[in-house]
């Protein structure tokens, strides 16, 4: 397998928070590198700092130690031209229609209205939202809202897509369907995705790489590379073995987090 260039490098990152019961270390000396075009999933128990790590890549949180490098440049703040983020809550602006929400990032960058509109409209098809352009968020289902949020991120055409448990608030069936849909989008757009989830199924189904994090203070405990073709059969012997391995890594950490 040809080695692709390293697009994202996380180098020795540490982050501390001050709480009412004293300082707490959320992340400790985290290092990870992600190659271009990868679908890398961060998985781990609650509180292990995966969202914090994602926030750092998105430029919203600064590390206390270490640094994050994207496309050769250190991260100093939000960089929508390179990195787009999708949060667990869709975060759609309730006063904007679907189309206006998708256009949001482009609007901030001063892209002229004509071009914005076209880019956004073109995305509606792949998003499965044709015909919903003029609807408001309150008229959309949870799954649809997330698709709009993802569309908003895709409109930026940034190389990197950060996703913080984007399907966490959805029901089981919708989650599975959204996963399949996301896979299709990823393979078509060739983006580099960093995906945070709790779900083993999602991690195994979607990723080319899985990074398991420890309980707080979070570290990268293990990294698994998945080379199977898409779409993946979750019943194959290879997958079953992988799942067992993944679960054993995670279980230990989850127990530790519960104490």
The single residue among 13, 129, 156, 193 that binds another protein, judged by CB under 8 A, is 156
Binding of residue 23 to another protein (CB under 8 A): no
CB of 231 to another protein, least distance (A): 30
Q: Phi, psi (5° rounding) for residue 92?
A: -80, 145
Cα 219 versus chain centre, distance: 18
Tell me whether residue 194 or residue 212 sits nearer to another protein (CB atom).
194
- Out of 24, 108, 241, 244, name the contact with another protein by CB under 8 A: 108
Looking at beta carbons only, is 85 or 208 nearer to another protein? 85
Does 236 participate in binding another protein (rule CB under 8 A)? no
> Please, which residue, 83 or 212, has the CB nearer to another protein?
83
- Near another protein by CB under 8 A, which window of 30-38, 107-115, 124-132, 214-222? 107-115
Least CB distance to another protein at residue 92 (A): 8
Q: Which of 80, 126, 128, 168 binds another protein (CB under 8 A)?
A: 80
Q: How far apart are CA 250 and CA 14, in angstroms?
A: 21
CA–CA distance, 6 with 21 (Å, rounded to integer): 39
Cα–Cα distance between 145 and 171 in angstroms, integer? 13
Shortest reach from residue 84's CB to another protein, in Å: 8
Q: Is 195 among the residues that bind another protein (CB under 8 A)?
A: no
Write out the residues near another protein by the rule CB under 8 A.
58-60, 78-80, 84-85, 87, 89, 91, 93-96, 104-105, 107-109, 136-139, 152, 156
């Amino acid at each position: 397998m040809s080695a692709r260039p390293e697009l994202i490098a996380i180098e020795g990152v540490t982050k501390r928070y001050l709480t009412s019961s004293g300082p707490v270390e959320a992340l400790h000396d985290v290092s990870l590198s992600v190659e271009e075009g990868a679908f890398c999933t961060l998985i781990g128990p609650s509180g292990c700092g995966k969202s914090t790590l994602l926030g750092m890549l998105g430029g919203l949180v600064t590390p206390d130690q270490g640094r994050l490098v994207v496309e050769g440049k250190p991260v100093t703040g939000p960089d929508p031209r390179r990195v787009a983020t999708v949060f667990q809550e869709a975060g759609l602006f309730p006063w904007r229609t679907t189309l206006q929400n998708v256009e949001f990032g482009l609007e901030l960058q001063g892209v002229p209205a004509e071009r914005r509109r076209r880019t956004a409209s073109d995305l509606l098809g792949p998003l499965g939202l044709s015909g919903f352009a003029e609807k408001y968020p309150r008229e959309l289902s949870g799954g649809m809202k997330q698709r709009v949020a993802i569309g908003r991120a895709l409109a930026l055409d940034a190389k990197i897509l950060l996703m913080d448990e984007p399907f966490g608030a959805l029901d089981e069936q919708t989650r599975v369907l959204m996963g399949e849909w996301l896979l299709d989008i990823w393979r078509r757009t060739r983006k580099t995705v960093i995906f945070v989830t709790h779900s083993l199924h999602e991690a195994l189904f979607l990723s080319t790489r899985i990074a398991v994090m420890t309980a707080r203070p979070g570290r990268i405990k293990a990294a698994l590379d998945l080379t199977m073709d898409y779409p993946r059969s979750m019943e194959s012997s290879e997958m079953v073995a992988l799942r067992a391995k993944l679960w054993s890594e995670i279980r230990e950490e989850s127990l530790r987090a519960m104490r």
